[in-house]
Amino acid sequence: MSATAPSPESPATDQLTVVLIGNPNTGKSTLFNALSGMKARIGNFPGVTVEKKTGRYRDDEGEITLVDLPGTYSLSPRSADEMVSVDVMLGRLKDVGRPDAVVCIVDASNLERNLYLFSQVRDLEIPVVLVLNMWDLATRRGVTIDVDALRERLGVPIVTTSAHRRQGLDELRSAIRDAAARERIAPDRVFPQPFYDEVERLREWLAERDRDGVPTYLLERMLFDIGGESEHRFAQSTSDELPTYLQQARQRLAENGCRVPAAETKHRYTWIRERLDGIVTRTEADTVTASDRIDRVITHRVWGLLFFAGLMFLVFQAIYNWAGPFMELIEAGQEAIAGSIAGALPPGTLRSLLIDGVVAGVGGVVVFLPQICFLFLFIAILEDCGYMARAAFLMDKLMTRLGLSGKSFVPLMSSFACAIPGVMATRVIENRRDRMVTILVAPLMSCSARLPVYLLLIATFVPATSLGGWGQGMALFAMHLVGALVAIPVAWILRKTFFKGETPPFVMELPPYKWPSPRVVLHRVYDRGMAFITRAGTLIFCTTVVVWAAGYFPGDHTELNAVTAEIEQLDAAAPLDEAGEARLAELEATEHRVSGRLIETSYLGQIGHAIEPAVRPLGWDWRIGVGAIASFPAREVIIATLGTIYSLGGEVDEEDPGLRQSIRHATWPDGTPVYNIPVAFSIMVFFALCAQCAATLMVIRRETNSWGWPIFTFTYMTLLAYVAALVTYQVGMLLMA
């Protein structure tokens, strides 16, 4: 049995900090939500992409702060992101503090595999509560566990729960208080004595170099994790002597029969099997479960893929089409608010700011909510019922060829509807390298915002009768395919440069199927929606206002305001006689002409003229350049911008015949046409590959907790788009010659 260690200073009983940790698919997040009442604060730990989720609840003795760590199979940190969990439990993060207890959640029906993480948590010498979750499912599967005997052997409080049924919560709250008040228990000695001797030698070696006080667990990790984050962190302060010393230490361990890293797995599982001997029994009814029978079809290499394809079609149909009416409703509300402001204020700077800056900025945030909510509704259902693990298993073989994992498939496919929910959906990917690469290539998928650009240029320059009537459809299909094809080499390059390392073997437990909890599902949808609004919405709004200001100033809008005011007076006096109709048409033409002149002389127009030499090799003039810059908040803005520049007004859409006519007849100063088929495809290829979406970049900023990655994304995608557009135009002109 374990020995009792001296108790540190007792925590304040009125307020405790408790960390929740567990393997993926053990119901950890469900338990967190049940304890905290689904009132959680979500952010990121400083400097890393790891999500920080905290919640609180009160009991008779005071307040408990819960910290929900990402699901993990072990505490072997190999990156800064993976190190966060260890730092949290060692009390090395100031914004969390030292935890008073750890709740380790395991799947009651799979104790042997789950207790590996528990054995590492015990080595941290923190009071632990072991939660055997999914107790009802384990019972139905014929699993019997002698909890009292297991409690005696492990020397920690053990509670059985069924989180999705909210069973066992009171017992868990009581156990948390009991554990925090207990004396800390020194962990069992799992490894041979030579290993602990090497740990002490390493401690002395570091102390000689003024690095004393290193936690024992980090010393153990330095020995076990070859090239891990613990070694990297301390190597910087030991003049690069540490890697050499550790290599020699591991050699000594190997000579003593403790070869690293295989020794850790071997000895931990030996310890686990000894503790479980005679504790867990299974009936023969457990050999073939209902989940096993379903998996024979769901994970079949043919039927499973067909089922997955149909399910993904349903998901994307929901994101693309079902969300449409809700998005239209939001846009209608946006137009109604803008109309109310226009009726209450005279034309001028304030009205333009409110309508084109504030209302457009808020609308540019809220309009994405339906797609985000639909995507996360499906993700939450699939995760909670147990299918998401099967989907990742099915797609892993394909995604591994790209250097990714099966879990990258759903976020990437979701990005065809909108990259914003796609990027946010990467939170299902535990491996940091896979998650980061998926985030960085997701914007290459051809989202729905690019569609207006494709429709305008294809309808204008690709004859409907080309290729036997299939020309326009094939052109549209090709544009949607460009980004996906380019993403393959981009992902490969990213894995060979910024995110080096072998793709980890696909390790995932297939949880038993269960009915999803409506409470959990709806909370996750609400959680993700609010996270988008509060964390990315402000940045999107600010970007919209900045672009509005660039397109509005420094021109004198006196004439435009006067013309707009007279137009509104005539509209209010309708019906008009013949003279009134003629005057209205004259004023609208003047409004369009003045608007075009103002945008040309604005800061945005000046930038367009300045970059014209750079875009001329693409076949573009300054007007196309302005449209590309103005569409930074949202790609589809280019349509309204071109409408304004060509004196047609900003209300035109991609089907407007006047806009198509103006584009077709636009000329250079020497009278030659600006647009032709190579120019049209040059623009479409640029928009297919560029990062013309501030909302996506802001979400990347929030998801990576760094400005560096959205800047990198914008830079690499813009350069990629420029080169591809250049090649498209130049090759197209050669073919036309």
DSSP annotation string for 107-136: ETT-HHHHHHHHHHHHTT---EEEEEE-HH
Question: Would you call the peptide bond into 261 cis, given omega within 30 degrees of 0 as the criterion?
Answer: yes
Instruction: Say if residue 5's pLDDT is above 50.
Output: no
Q: Is the model's pTM score more than 0.85? A: no
pLDDT in tens, 328-374: 898 888 889 988 998 888 888 888 888 877 887 677 667 767 877 88
Which residue's entry shows tokens 């509560």? 129
Amino acid 648: pLDDT: 42
Q: Is 135 left (phi over 0), alpha (psi -120 to 50) or beta?
A: alpha
CA–CA–CA angle 224, 229, 235 (5° rounding): 90
Which of 97-111, 433-447, 539-553 shows the lowest mean pLDDT across its residues? 539-553
Tokens linked to 401: 């060829």
574-586: per-residue pLDDT in tens?
A: 787 788 888 888 8
Strand-pairing partners, residue 17, are 65
Q: What is the pLDDT of residue 504?
A: 54
Which residue's structure tokens are 């029994």? Answer: 281
- As a whole number of Å, the end-to-end CA separation of the chain is 86
pLDDT category at 641 given cuts 50, 70, 90 is: low
Residue 29 CA, chain-centre distance (Å), reads 17
Q: What share of the chain is helix, strand, coil (3-state, %, to 5)?
A: 65, 10, 30
Which pLDDT score is estimated for 617?
Answer: 92
H-helix segments, 283-368: 290-298, 303-317, 323-344, 349-352, 360-366
Whole-Å CA distances, 223 to 195, 229, 233, 247, 258: 9, 11, 13, 9, 11
Residue with tokens 């988008």: 532
Q: Residue 187: what pLDDT?
A: 75
pLDDT on residue 647: 46
CB 652 within 8 A of CB 631: no
Question: How sure is the predictor about 1, in pLDDT bands with cuts at 50, 70 and 90?
Answer: very low
Rounded mean pLDDT of the chain? 79
> What's the pLDDT score for residue 539?
59
CA-to-CA separations, 252 to 194, 198, 257, 260, 370, in angstroms, rounded? 9, 9, 9, 10, 60
- Structural contact between residues 327 and 530, judged by C-beta atoms closer than 8 angstroms: no
66 forms bridges with which residues in the sheet?
18, 55
- Is residue 129 over pLDDT 90? yes
What pLDDT is recorded for position 532? Answer: 66
Q: Collapsing DSSP states into helix, strand and coil, what is residue 348?
A: coil
Task: State how far the Cα of 78 lies from the Cα of 683, in Å rounded to an integer.
Answer: 43
Q: What is the CA radius of gyration of the chain?
A: 31
Among residues 431, 414, 333, 340, which one has the least CA distance to residue 377? 414
Gap between the Cα atoms of 399 and 231, Å rounded: 31
Over range 241-263, report the average pLDDT.
Answer: 87
Residue 42 has a pLDDT of: 61
Pairing state of beta strands 15-22 and 128-133?
Answer: unpaired
Higher pLDDT, 226 or 103: 103
pLDDT above 70: residue 654: no
Least confident of 173-182, 274-283, 575-584, 655-664: 655-664
In residues, how long is the chain? 737
Measure Cα distances from 290 to 139, 260, 301, 382, 668 in Å: 14, 40, 19, 17, 70
Beta-carbon count within 10 A of 715 CB: 11
Whether 725 shows a pLDDT value over 90: the answer reads yes
Residue 730 has what pLDDT?
A: 93
Closest by alpha carbon to 219, among 254, 179, 183, 191? 191
pLDDT for 719 equals: 93
Statement: residue 383 has pLDDT above 80: no
- The Cα 378–Cα 393 span in angstroms is 18
More confident residue, 28 or 386: 28
Asked whether residue 629 carries a pLDDT value surpassing 90, the answer given is no
Q: Assess whether pLDDT exceeds 90 at residue 712.
A: yes
